[in-house]
Amino acid sequence: MGRGAIVRLVLFGVVLGLGATAVALFIPWLPDQASKQGERIDFVFWFTTAICIAIFAVVASVAVYSVIKFRVPPDDDSDGLPIHGHTGIEIVWTVVPFLLVTAIGVVSAVALAQNDDLPDNHMVVNVVGRQFTWQFLYPPADAPEAAKDELECDAKEVARSCLSSAQLHLPLDVPVYLRMRADDVLHSFWVPEFRQKQDLVPGQVTTLVITPTKVGKYEVLCTELCGLGHSVMRAAAIVSSRADFDTWKAGIEKQAAGGGKGGKAVFASNGCASCHTLTAAGAKGTVGPNLDELPQAAKTAGKPLEAFVRQSIVEPDAYVAKGFSKGVMLKTFATLPKEQLDALVQYLVDSTKGGGSR
Ligand code: CUA
């Protein structure tokens, strides 16, 4: 190969490589980055991308060069010369990819190991996934360590002082240890801005460490097809300053202790809003029946409103509204503590009474 050919190959390689680099850098491919673990994931992403661009530049420059240099006239149908092996080239194209893939493997393994690292000053949050809601439970700081496949808030003594929320609130720069479980089928926890992703499995506790680095409101997505309401199985992840977080926490502590507004809190913290519409709570879900129409439904079922509401929560398949299916609503609400269930029933009765035709 002459010097001219090498110069041209290198030139093509540089131009194509720069083009690919521009595409990689100037198009915003990734969502915002809002966690320490995300920084490491992004490093692996860019490390791999850089290698890909280098390989692309080499392959594309040879291809473009060959298309120009070895072009035959349109009426030339003859075959090219047969090609024999070239041991030198074969060694190069085996060893170089081997080294690159090994490097990607090592860099990924180190990043993932660092991302699993749990600093001592962490905070624990229990995450429960159900068709089709998220529940976030905050055990007290002094809660005893839970067994391997149990959540802190499963323990009876702890459960009473666990705070429950349908949104994931996190303080800035505090490592949070998510201990997660599904109550029915597989779900998967993902906040794109945090990058970390983890399945929730019934009967098992899976974990994830996240250290939020940016104040903001992000979306928690379920990324495991889990049934009819999979696409609406979302919640907010709200990262705020430590002071704002403490204010929020004190607020729900008060709400949990207070009696009168208790039902509304139970409605909110159990994620009812993600499946049901209820004007009084500002809920707009459409997976399940519209709760504003409870009085009419009770009438159709031939039951007094309060008894009907209670039955529909603890025994959802006893009466299924027209247009909906059995087995979609969870039966686990039967295990709500009695005071919470009473408060929820009262709240639903009170907030729909006015709207119903009776
Ligand atoms: Cu839960 Cu998809």
Q: Does 130 sit in the ligand 1 pocket, CB within 6 Å? A: no
pLDDT digits (tens, 9 = 90+) for 171-181: 999 999 999 99
Q: What is the pLDDT of residues 130-155, one digit of tens each?
A: 988 999 999 998 888 888 889 998 88
180 lines ligand 1 (CB under 6 A): no
Give residue 246 CA to ligand 1 midpoint distance, Å. 30
Torsion 79-80-82-83 (CA) sign? negative
Over residues 91-109, mean pLDDT: 96
pLDDT of residue 354: 63
- 358 — pLDDT class (breaks 50, 70, 90): very low
Q: Is 224 in the pocket of ligand 1 (CB under 6 A)?
A: yes
Instruction: In whole angstroms, give the CA distance from residue 172 to residue 159.
Output: 26
- Mapped onto helix, strand or coil, the DSSP state of residue 229 is coil
CA nearest ligand 1 atom 1, residue: 187
Ligand 1 centroid, distance to 182 Cα (angstroms): 10
- State the closest ligand 1 atom to the C-alpha of 187, by its place in the atom list counted from 1: 1
Output DSSP code: residue 193.
Answer: G
Check pocket membership of 274 for ligand 1, CB cut-off 6 A: no
Look at residue 258 in the predicted model and tell me its pLDDT. Answer: 59
Instruction: Decide: 230 in ligand 1 pocket, CB within 6 A.
Output: yes
Task: Tell me the CA–centroid distance for residue 197 and ligand 1, in Å.
Answer: 13
- Would you say the CB of residue 226 lies under 6 angstroms from ligand 1? yes
Q: Is 222 in the pocket of ligand 1 (CB under 6 A)?
A: yes
pTM above 0.85, yes or no: no
Mean pLDDT of the chain: 89
> pLDDT (tens digit, 9 = 90+) per residue, 222-256?
999 999 889 999 999 999 999 999 999 988 887 76
pLDDT of 357 over the 50 cut:
no
Residue 334 alpha carbon to ligand 1 centre in Å = 22
- Residue 261 pLDDT > 60: no
Taking the C-alpha atoms of residue 198 and residue 186, their distance in angstroms, rounded to an integer, is 11
Ligand 1 atom closest to the Cα of residue 233 is 1
Q: From the alpha carbon of 200, which atom of ligand 1 is closest?
A: 1
Token output for 175: 């490592």
Sequence-separated contacts (24+) of 97-106 with Cβ below 8 Å: 100/51, 100/55, 103/47, 103/51, 104/44, 104/47, 104/48, 104/51
List alpha helices for 258-320, DSSP H.
262-269, 294-301, 305-314
- Please report which helix (H) or strand (E) contains residue 128, including its range: strand 123-130
Q: Is 271 in the pocket of ligand 1 (CB under 6 A)?
A: no
- For residue 22, pLDDT over 90 is answered with yes
